[in-house]
Amino acid sequence: MQRYIDEDKLVSIITMVCRQGKIAHFSCFGTQDTKVPTTRDTIFRIYSMTKPITTVAAMMLYEEGLFQLDDPVSDFIPELKDVQVFAGKGVPPEDLEREITIRHLMTHTSGLTYGFLGNSPVDQLYNQAKINRPDHSTKEMVQTLATLPLANQPGTAWRYSVSTDVLGHFVEVISGMSLNAFFRERILDPLGMEDTEFWVREGQGHRFATNYGPAQEGGIRVIDDPATSKFSSPQKFFSGGGGLVSTASDYIRFCHMMLNGGVFHGVRLLGRKTVELMTMNHLPDELMPISLGLANLSGEGFGLGGAILLDAAAGGPGSVGTFRWGGAATTAFWIDYEEELVGLLLTQFMPANYYRIRAEFKTLVYQALIE
């Protein structure tokens, strides 16, 4: 990891490994803004590592009997009942063959897309509609989505998408709370995740890491300065798909809750069987292998809120059943249930596939296991 700092490829890195409930490794490398050293309390944009938290929020409501996984989303968000499906340029859109379900949202099989992956002509429509406007609420985003076609019929393809943002709005609708309030009351405060939020709170700015990207002339450049970042002020759009900032100390708590079958330090968020349901593959064979942009996620299926390792030879190292995901700024976590192991990597660099640090860190962890 230090090599990435020494070669000026990355500025700030945290690596953390826990096994059998104990911290086996914790290291901080570099500085959060070229001057202030990285510490366990440095705040990172975790982007899509928000998705598993949003899915847990929904599954808490599932346990309360408020919905079933195969319920149509339109039972709760009527705007999505009459969405249509893209059929080709210059061709009228098709009607739905089946409605979008809650399970479709959790598994990215809804037919929604993202707008930036460029794997569907619908992406251009998303960009034109500016679906992720920070001055819009999640409700307004969903209302905009309802006017746009799906990229494919629900349940016919795995496509990474804004599905978890819609799921976040679903949580708001059935709980009667904003996603921010639900997270704080039902998940973050109970787990002691004090620094996890949709924005960096007042008085914490000195701990907020700078986000970097590649410079055209070589080296790296600042792409999100904490002083001007949208994350440095209160948000209106609570993105369940990628809106949180967090710390290593906080996010490892969430991971341990998932590893322990829904409980952490005596606080239970989910039942053991619900966590098992989340961490099993929900994709039929015909939807695999799945791919994210240009990268095939070989050997993996998808559960509720994260990828599931199905074939360690193709997608390893790791154990079959490992639950994992990452974020756009090269953050990552995985939970290996067989080894009782959690790995966590935090840095701030986009795009996430620019370096192979996530794969390298995972390899380093597993080669160190001797018992």
pLDDT of 199 reads: 98
CATH architecture of 61-175: Up-down Bundle (1.20)
132 pLDDT band (50/70/90 cuts)? Answer: confident
Tell me whether the CATH fold assigned to 2-51+178-367 matches the one assigned to 61-175. Answer: no
Superfamily of domain 2-51+178-367: DD-peptidase/beta-lactamase superfamily (3.40.710.10)
pLDDT at 4 over 90: yes
pLDDT of 273 reads: 99
Give me the mean pLDDT over the 15-29 stretch: 97
Least trusted range by pLDDT, from 133-137, 148-152, 260-264: 133-137
Give me the mean pLDDT over the 262-288 stretch: 98
What rounded mean pLDDT belongs to the chain?
A: 96
Helix axes 163-175, 51-63, angle to 10 degrees: 40
171 pLDDT band (50/70/90 cuts)? Answer: very high
244 pLDDT band (50/70/90 cuts)? Answer: very high
CA–CA distances in Å: residue 15 to residues 149, 196, 272, 335: 41, 18, 28, 14
pLDDT of 294 reads: 63
% of the chain with per-residue pLDDT over 90? 93
Give me the mean pLDDT over the 90-107 stretch: 97
Domain range annotation of the chain? 2-51+178-367, 61-175
Give me the mean pLDDT over the 97-113 stretch: 98
49 token code pair: 């590592």
pLDDT of 10 reads: 98
pLDDT at 266 over 70: yes
pLDDT of 119 reads: 72
Q: What is the pLDDT of residues 35-62, one digit of tens each?
A: 899 999 999 999 999 999 999 999 999 9
CB 11 within 8 A of CB 339: no
pLDDT of 225 reads: 98
CB 308 within 8 A of CB 321: yes
